[in-house]
Amino acid sequence: MSNPIHLPPVLRLALVVVFAIWALGTGINSATGITGLDEYWHSMRTAIQSFELGAWWPPVLDGELRVEKPPLLYWLMMLSFSAFGIEFWTARLPSLLLGLGFAFLVATLYSDLFRRSRLLPFLIVLSLLTIAVESRRAMLDLPVAFCTVAALTALFRQQRSPSSYWWVAAALATAAGFYFKGPVALWFIVTAVMAFRVVTRQSVKPALVWSTSILALVLISLWPLLLSLSSPDWLDRLADDSADREFGWPSLKNLQALIGGLAVASLPWLVVLLRAGTRTTIEAKDRETTRALWLWITLALIPFLFFRTFERYLLPLAIPIVLLTSHVLDSHAPSRRLHLMSSVVITALPVVSLSVFVCWLAPTTFVVVATIVSVAMLSVASICAWRRENIATVVLLISATTVTLGYLYPRLGVNSLPAEVISDFATGTGAHYASPYPGTLSMVLGRSVPIIERDDRRALQDHALKHGLLVLRRDDWRALQTTAQSANCLVKIERRFAMWYSRGAFLSLGKPGLSKETSWDAIKNRDLNILQPEFVTARISMRPIP
């Protein structure tokens, strides 16, 4: 591997930090960037509504106390709103900062366990596709991963350099993980401690575990105590939320989702991770640690066999994934070329596909140039991989991914509302009808736009008294007419428009009711407008009294 450029430590650190901010934060202020229903309809609207009402404990959503999730993420978003105003980037700023902290702490834990440089694992965290996505979204899973690695780093530091600072820090990080997502956050910490306790001589001492656990439990107990005072029915609502998870016995479907989720969580380093399970790639002195990391992954996955798993649920397992991957790349030179080349290919598949798709759909000069740049970076990365250059290869993979996700993807215009619609809602009272789409309207306006359920005549009448505006999918127009008629209201379409919107993290092509032939013709003719879901805005008022 070639020698790194020799720079003063302070300048080198500054360059790494700036690069990391660029890699994880590019595009976070775009309404058309990476987002999804859970982010814009739950996380963002909860923070906006709570901020507007000054409801810090507990947060609120659509007039009800938000007790299904702990409040820490919403508090961080509200603090960001207080400092910088309600914008997309301010809503996502906590995720960006926690993503940077996550990369730093994983690198620190790697250095503590394997006694090697922190730079490679830091960069590998930035190169993970799940991190690239979740650092651009205000979601709960990246904060949980941050708290997990913070607690473990503090525990191992306390083990080697006893200090009250470290065990208190571990307890605070553990409690913070709970306040982000509830008990599931604790599971990843518990299984890590169990794995190291069973396998290695670096196991955490029982006295340290007990003291940390007691302080963490004291802090955690404040949440149910305070909730019992503000929302006596919170346990019933948590039970309803748990029922929505569809818990059941392990099944082949759940196993397939789990394996797929773990594979996606490890991209683009899946091949290297699989290789990390062989003795030939692990130095003898590190085999205990690597066995503990594999046991951690195995134990942590067990509960996910009982319900459907999404890759972001497994984000805390990026910690052992990065540790194992970094150790293989650091220590096993003979197969480094194969490992790096495989990661270049895996990165190229989504990057080139998405870049070409954007270039095909919206071939502006900027898009074409950005596509050429991303492909060129991957080409140079393949050369660096062939030369077994770890750092250069990973930096180029990160850069190509950032150009694609941060610059090219927003050019598709997903969730891009027409300026006229934004202007209409900015000057009057508005609401969604029957569905949360288009869900980014609240963030674009900087205030929460409520939803009126399909058969809620009372809410429709209240909105009609204000001569309010509604936005809805065209498929829901007949339902609105029927409900409005029964509520003695008049509705009139003001605008029609079509737009892409995201359900998961990315664009979902197509709309209900289209035949395969129509969809294929649209693709062949390079005209995907017909595939865009259609919306209308409608003005509602009360019928005049005869």
Cis peptide bond upstream of 268, omega within 30: yes
**Residue pLDDT tens, the chain, 546 long:** 444 557 788 888 999 999 999 999 999 999 999 998 899 999 999 999 999 999 888 899 888 888 888 999 999 999 999 999 999 999 999 999 999 999 999 999 999 999 999 999 999 999 999 999 999 999 999 999 999 999 999 999 988 887 888 999 999 999 999 999 988 899 999 999 999 988 876 667 777 888 888 999 999 998 888 888 877 777 776 666 655 566 667 778 888 888 988 999 999 999 999 888 775 556 667 888 999 999 999 999 999 888 777 788 899 999 999 999 999 998 877 789 999 999 999 999 999 999 998 988 888 999 999 999 999 999 999 999 999 999 999 999 999 999 999 999 999 889 999 999 999 999 889 999 999 999 899 999 999 999 999 999 999 999 999 999 999 999 999 999 999 999 999 999 999 999 888 877 666 655 555 556 666 666 666 666 777 889 999 999 998 866
- Cα(110)–Cα(116) distance, integer angstroms: 7
pLDDT at 254: 81
- Cα(66)–Cα(46) distance, integer angstroms: 8
pLDDT at 143: 97
pLDDT at 522: 67
- Cα(485)–Cα(146) distance, integer angstroms: 52
Residue type (1 letter), 517: E
Residue 154 lies in a domain: yes
Residue 5 lies in a domain: no
* Residues 98, 136 contacting (CB under 8 angstroms): no
Whether 176 and 68 map to the same domain: the answer is: yes
Residue 24 lies in a domain: no
Last residue of a domain, one of 375, 394, 412: 412
Note down the domain range covering 217.
34-238+245-331
What residues are paired with 541 via a beta bridge? 490
* Residues 496, 534 contacting (CB under 8 angstroms): yes
- Cα(497)–Cα(535) distance, integer angstroms: 5
What residues are paired with 431 via a beta bridge? 470
DSSP conformation letters of 504-546: SSSB----TT--HHHHHHHHHTT-GGGGS-EEEEEEEEEPPP-
Check residue 449 and report its DSSP letter. Answer: P
The total number of structural domains in the chain stands at: 3
* Residues 322, 376 contacting (CB under 8 angstroms): no
Whether 383 and 528 map to the same domain: the answer is: no
pLDDT at 535: 95
Whether 299 and 368 map to the same domain: the answer is: no
Whether 219 and 366 map to the same domain: the answer is: no
Whether 206 and 310 map to the same domain: the answer is: yes
pLDDT at 1: 42
* Residues 453, 432 contacting (CB under 8 angstroms): no
Residue 22 lies in a domain: no
Residue 487 in tokens: 């509520």
Residue 6 lies in a domain: no
Residue 8 lies in a domain: no
- Cα(478)–Cα(472) distance, integer angstroms: 11
DSSP conformation letters of 327-387: HHHHH-GGGHHHHHHHHHHHHHHHHHHHHHHHHHHS--HHHHHHHHHHHHHHHHHHHHHHT
Whether 285 and 259 map to the same domain: the answer is: yes
Residue 344 lies in a domain: yes
- Cα(422)–Cα(444) distance, integer angstroms: 8
Kind and range of the H or E element at 264?
Answer: helix 252-266
Whether 390 and 469 map to the same domain: the answer is: no
Last residue of a domain, one of 384, 412, 440: 412
Whether 111 and 46 map to the same domain: the answer is: yes
pLDDT at 532: 83
pLDDT at 501: 86
Whether 41 and 79 map to the same domain: the answer is: yes
Last residue of a domain, one of 303, 331, 359: 331
Whether 360 and 391 map to the same domain: the answer is: yes
Residue 3 lies in a domain: no
Whether 105 and 212 map to the same domain: the answer is: yes
For residue 77, what are the CA distances in angstroms to 51, 140, 248, 252?
A: 9, 12, 34, 38
Whether 59 and 157 map to the same domain: the answer is: yes
- Cα(136)–Cα(30) distance, integer angstroms: 10
